[in-house]
Amino acid sequence: AKESGKRTWCVFSSELADRAEARRSVEMDLHRAVENSELQLYFQPQVSTKTGEIVGCETLIRWNHPTRGLIGPGSFIQHAEDSGIITRLGNWALREALSQARRLPKHMHIAVNISPLQIHSASLVSTIINALATNGIDPGRLELEITESVLMTDTEFTLDRLNQLKQIGLKISLDDFGTGFSSLSYLRRFPFDRLKIDKSFVEDIDHDEDSRAITKATLTLAKALNMKCTAEGVETECQKQFLTDIGCDELQGYLISRPQPLEKLKHLINLAPEP
């Protein structure tokens, strides 16, 4: 509405009020969601290009809303972040991911998305240590996926926190690489184990030479810095072939599998029975 100069102030103001109202209602809704276990984790397999085997899964949150049905994180994670409830939601996601990970074969890693506010949360480290111990999961199997936005604020604190997490034995991945305001100096300062090539580049591999060049250069950079590389959003055989040829380590995307409740992946993954 902001950019429409023709609208009257009155309309603008009521739109703002509507938006504030909508936000408050999402926040209240989210509190209830966490209380009533309306949240659910979906798992998306990640495949090794060398062996073709599934070597890990990323967990992606979903909201089974009582009236609105199944909602993806795109429409609520930002609200959760703005209202601060992301900390509770994120701690829930970590505990849930590690609890369900008991069903995965022991060689598989588990990637969990972590939002900027969560990195600052005082409870992050203890939640992770406890959940790993409770579920008997080797810390080296847990990969935290963070985006560049995490690195931009409070850099010293973030660096300390990431090093603290590394000391427990976790892995850190830089998610959505190339989409933010990335500065290459971040790659030198922060202890990343993995770069994830954003799906916006992968999407264009089939028809855009520049995207192929950027993808290839990203991989070269990752290798030079001793990081693993995962491509997300792989949908076509052609993308898979290109990414395999250039030596990308792992692939993730609808071509392999959509994100699913873990139980629904049992035809792909040898799952232990529910504990």
User: 52: left (phi > 0), else alpha (psi -120 to 50), else beta?
Assistant: left
Site for ligand C2E contains 137 (CB under 6 A): no
On whether the CB atoms of residues 86 and 33 are closer than 8 A, the answer is no
Hey, what are 65's tokens?
């809303």
User: Contact with ligand C2E (CB under 6 A): which of 235, 236, 268, 269?
Assistant: 235
Q: Which listed option, ligand C2E, Ca ion, none, makes contact with residue 30 (CB within 5 to 8 Å by class)?
A: none
Site string for Ca ion, 92-131 (x = CB under 5 A): ---------------------x------------------
Decide if residue 113 touches ligand C2E (CB under 6 A). yes
- Only one of the segments 72-80, 102-110, 132-140, 219-227 lies at the binding site for ligand C2E (rule: CB under 6 A); that segment is 72-80
Positive or negative, the CA dihedral 6, 10, 11, 12 is positive
> Which DSSP category does 262 fall into?
G
Contact (Cβ atoms closer than 8 angstroms) between residue 27 and residue 79: yes
165 binds, among Ca ion, ligand C2E, none (CB under 5 to 8 A by kind): none
What's the min distance (Å) between Cβ of 135 and ligand C2E? 17
201: tokens are 């580049």
Dihedral over Cα of 53, 199, 139, 259: its sign: negative
Q: Write out the H or E segment, with its range, that includes residue 10.
A: helix 9-35
96 touches ligand C2E (CB under 6 A): no
What are the structure tokens assigned to 93, written together? 């996601």
Specify burial of residue 235 (Cβ count, 10 A radius: 0-12, 13-18, 19+): middle
Which listed residue (54, 57, 85, 93) binds ligand C2E by CB under 6 A?
93
Residue whose beta carbon is closest to ligand C2E = 253
Using CB under 6 A, list all residues that contact ligand C2E. Answer: 44, 60-61, 72-74, 77, 90, 93, 113-115, 145, 175-176, 199, 232-235, 253-254, 259
Using CB under 5 A, list all residues that contact Ca ion. Answer: 113, 145, 175-176, 232
